[in-house]
Structure 1
Amino acid sequence: MTSPYDIEEIFPGDFPGDAVEPVLLPRRQTGNSPQGLAVTLLADYTLRTRAWLPSAAIVALLAEAGVSHAGARTTISRLARRGVLEGSRRGRNSSYRLTEAAASVLTAGGRAIAATATDTGPWDRRWTLIAFSLPQDEATQRRELRGRLRWLGFAPLYDGLWISPHDLTDKAKARLVGLAPGGVTVFRADHVELDGIGRKPVDAWDTTAIARQYEAFLQRWSPLLPDIRAARITGAEAVRARTEVMDTYRRLPYLDPRLPLDLLPPGWPREPARDLFAAVYDGLAAPAQDHVRAVAGGFTTDPPTLIRAHTVADLLDCAPTPADRESRVRTPRTERSRTASRAFGASGGS
């Protein structure tokens, strides 16, 4: 089984039919990278509205998470070059927001995260198999195909044979188009037991290791619940905890992509982990939102109403609001910087 931190992209690249233009989100790593922190911060408080944040506010928020000012400015610059952020200028001041492409990919990822413990209904006990064969010199294409299959909830039973207990939807089929033309075949089949020989399909996932990840999550976050319920976690501490719980939990759905409970040991901890994630993430939404608004307000006179912390329920139905269209009118495209260096200019990103 792939380790939680070996997945090259939790939210891989552009999705046909989802993103309006290519975008490359930062790799997810062990611990929190500055780019990963920045993306989570922007997504947690501006995803639905694509609100603009002063670059100085982003730098200040990252500083509270231990990122140096120079490192934060480099992070913003790199995310702009990746197509994750777009910038605008007012005099010497610059602001950034998520691009439409990044917001689209993050919205799809948010739905997947929020839906991880929802009821999948009865399982028909059939498997979807994807067999592929790519030349050895097509390493990039092979890596991209495997990343896309991992995103779709598949796992490798054997080299070149990936499986899932779920049917392949039309949208999923569209996402595979063009990745390996002529080199992929899809089956929907039953598993035939061979009296103790052969490998069971569920062995494509290391369920023992997945359970350990769930248990580690439960042990890490359960002690915070009394303080959250008593409103004792506020300010920068609330933002840090909310960012960390999202960055920790978001990996679990890709290790355990809603496998049917019929395949899993009794007492599987998927639902308790999801409930704990919602309790922490939603419970800290109000104080974290207040703090992000306060930090942003220190660098702009614009009202912070477009900075909005969403809940787990919002992630299931996350879509741009009318405020997004209004914000686009207020900031004409001609004001946006085309490159990160232009956006920072002589002001140093303040």
Structure 2
Amino acid sequence: MTSPFDIEEMFPNDGDRPLRLPRRQAGNSPQGVAVTLLADYTLRTRAALPSAAIVALLAESGVTTAGARTAISRLAGRGVLEGSRQGKRSFYRLSHAAAANLSAGGRWILSATAATAPWDGCWTVVAFSLPQERSAQRRALRGQLRWLGYAPLYDGLWISPHELTPPARAQLAQLTLGAVTVFRARQPELDAVGQRAPIDAWDIPAIARHYAAFLRRWTPLLPRMTSGRVDGAAAVRARTEVMDTFRRFPTLDPQLPLDLLPVGWLRGPARELFAAVYDGLAGPAEQHVRALVARFTGSAHPGIRAHTTADLHAGVRDDEPCPSVSMSSRSRTAPAP
């Protein structure tokens, strides 16, 4: 089973756009924190924020000024951020590609942790064979399979309890160029000693420990939230951390059938706790972000709005309004943050 800190990408990249979201690291990288912050408060509006305000927000999460400026520059180079300049000030906002990618990832987070439908008892099996000289292609295929909810039963044999959708089949075809076979089947009952069950492709006890740790970490925050004792920068940090942690669960536990899992599986309680914290702190966190940005713009920014689980469900539409600072002066080369 993949560790939650070994997932290569936060969300799958869109192959049709020049976008590279930051890689996962052991802990929170400055680039990852920056993307989470901008998505949490500007995803639906793609509001452009002063680079100085983004640096200040990152500083509240423990990122140094140098680290924050480097993260902004690298995200602009990856196509995640778009830069503009107004006078001596530089501004950044999420690119269209990043917003669409992050929106898809948000819907995936909630749908993959929702209650599972009845399982038909069949497994989708993906078998592939790629030579050693195509190691980069093999890594890309494994990363895509992992994001789609598959796990390796054996080295070149990945499985999922869910059917492979046509879009996912097309994605895999682009990565393998005919070197993959996909079929759906049931596991026959055998008397052979040492038979490995498909569910063993996932480390169920380890996943359970991650759920239990998540509940231990965030449950004590609820009474403090209800009494109004979590606000300002603390509310922003908590929302960033709870999102960064919870969004790893769909890859660890991709809606595995409950009848194959231990009684009292904690997927549902973890999802409810995530929603309680993320939505419960939306108000005070939004107020803090608005106030901080206003220090650099001189007025309240209409494009700052805390993203909620309802927004994750709804996603981002192509006609979503963008009440942000004018981007008419944007150049092809992003300005220095």
Regarding TM over 0.5, the answer is yes
Pick one of 175, 194, 197 that aligns with 2:194.
197
Gaps of 5+ in 1: none
Matching residue of 2:332: 338
- The equivalent residue for 2:205 is 208
- Cα deviation, 1:149-200, whole Å, max 9, x if unaligned, reads 0000000000100000000111211222310111011001111121243210
Matched, 1:254 2:248: no
Quick one: which amino acid aligns to residue 163 of structure 2? D
Residues 12-31 of structure 1, C-alpha deviations (whole Å, 9 max, x = no match): 32255xxxx12111111121
Which of 25, 31, 34 is equivalent to 1:35?
31
- Describe the SS at the equivalent of 2:296: coil
RMSD of aligned Cα (Å):
1.5
Q: Report what 2:173 is aligned to.
A: 177
Determine the C-alpha separation between the residues in 2 that align with 1:45 and 1:326: 13
Letter in 2 for 1:183: A
The worse-fitting range, judged by mean Cα deviation, of 255-264 and 171-180 is 171-180
Residues in 2 aligned to 1:293 and 1:321: alpha-carbon distance in whole angstroms: 25
**What letter matches 1:10 in structure 2?**
M
Q: Is the 8 A contact 1:242 1:281 kept in 2?
A: yes
CA distance in structure 2 between the partners assigned to 1:158 and 1:319 by the alignment: 38
Q: 1:130 is matched by which residue type in structure 2?
A: V
For the residue of structure 2 that corresponds to 1:185, the secondary structure is strand
Which stretches in structure 2 are left out of the alignment for 5+ residues?
Answer: none
The whole-number CA distance in structure 1 between the counterparts of 2:73 and 2:37 is: 16
Amino acid at match of 1:91: G
Other-structure match for 1:3: 3
1:248 Cα deviation from its structure 2 partner: 0.9
Equivalent in 252, 267, 271 of residue 268 of structure 2 = 271
Is the contact made by 2:275 and 2:309 (CA closer than 8 Å) also made in structure 1? yes
| Structure 1 residue 117, shift from structure 2 partner | 2.7
Residue number in structure 1 paired with 2:142: 146
Poorly superposed stretches of 4+, deviation over 4 Å: 325-328
Give, in whole Å, the separation in 1 of the partners of 2:169 and 2:190.
31
Aligned residue in 1 for 2:315? 318
The percentage of aligned residue pairs carrying the same residue is 65
Residues 315 and 82 of structure 1, relative CA distance in 2, 3 Å threshold = same
Is the contact between residue 128 and residue 157 of structure 2 (CA under 8 Å) also seen in structure 1?
yes
Contact 1:249–1:277 at 8 Å: present in 2 too? Answer: yes
- 2:85 is aligned to 89
TM-score, with normalisation over the residues of structure 1? Answer: 0.92
* Inter-partner Cα distance in structure 1 for 2:44 and 2:91: 17
Q: Count how many residue pairs are aligned between Structure 1 and Structure 2.
A: 336
Aligned residue type for 1:181: L
Query: Is the 8 Å Cα contact of residues 132 and 185 (structure 1) preserved in structure 2?
Result: yes
The one-letter amino acid of 1:188's match is: R
Q: Structure 2 CA distance, aligned partners of 1:111 and 1:323?
A: 16
Is the contact between residue 55 and residue 94 of structure 1 (CA under 8 Å) also seen in structure 2? Answer: yes
SS of residue paired to 1:38: helix
Residue 226 of structure 2: which of 205, 229, 246 is its match?
A: 229
TM-score normalised according to structure 2 size:
0.96
Residue identity in the other structure for 1:337 = S
